[in-house]
Amino acid sequence: MKKIIIIFPVIILIGTFFFMKKFIFVSEKDRVKTTIKTAVKAINDKDYHKFMKQFSIEYRDEYGNTWGTLFFYLKNNLKNCQKVSVSVSNLDIEIEDKIALVKLFGKGKAEDSYGEVIREAGRFIVKLKKEAGKWKIIWIEEDKYRFDCI
């Protein structure tokens, strides 16, 4: 009986520690990464609703897309794809106030219903804004290669 009285509080303390570590002591950079990873997983699952939940209603991009045009573009095009595979790497995150700037390398591959495969890869800049405690994507652009002359 004494062992149970000693072990039970230890188990409670360990559980509390892991809960706090996972949900309370999460850095803002980790929260930004979670938003990006959630968007990538959603697009790979062809779940455009979950994907769009990672975007702010204020979303704009360098091609003139808004939240609404992106939503309908994805809705119409994802149903024509048999397979979609997107991955991101080399995330470089800078946070200032409620704005996060993420530079990343992204690769994508899509196979349509006719078996045609489309591949894309490139460096991108993703801007996120903290809205109601959650990071939402507000801007995406291709990071153009620049050659600086000395």
**DSSP designation for 66:** B
Say if pTM beats, i.e. exceeds, 0.85.
no
pLDDT along the chain (150 residues), means of 10: 63 69 78 97 96 97 93 90 94 95 96 90 96 96 74
Q: What is the pLDDT of residue 80?
A: 87
Kindly tell me the burial class for residue 62, based on how many C-beta atoms sit within 10 Å of its own C-beta (0-12, 13-18, 19 or more).
Answer: exposed
Q: What is the pLDDT of residue 115?
A: 87
Domain locations in the chain as residue ranges = 27-142
Domain spanning 27-142: CATH 3.10.450.50? yes
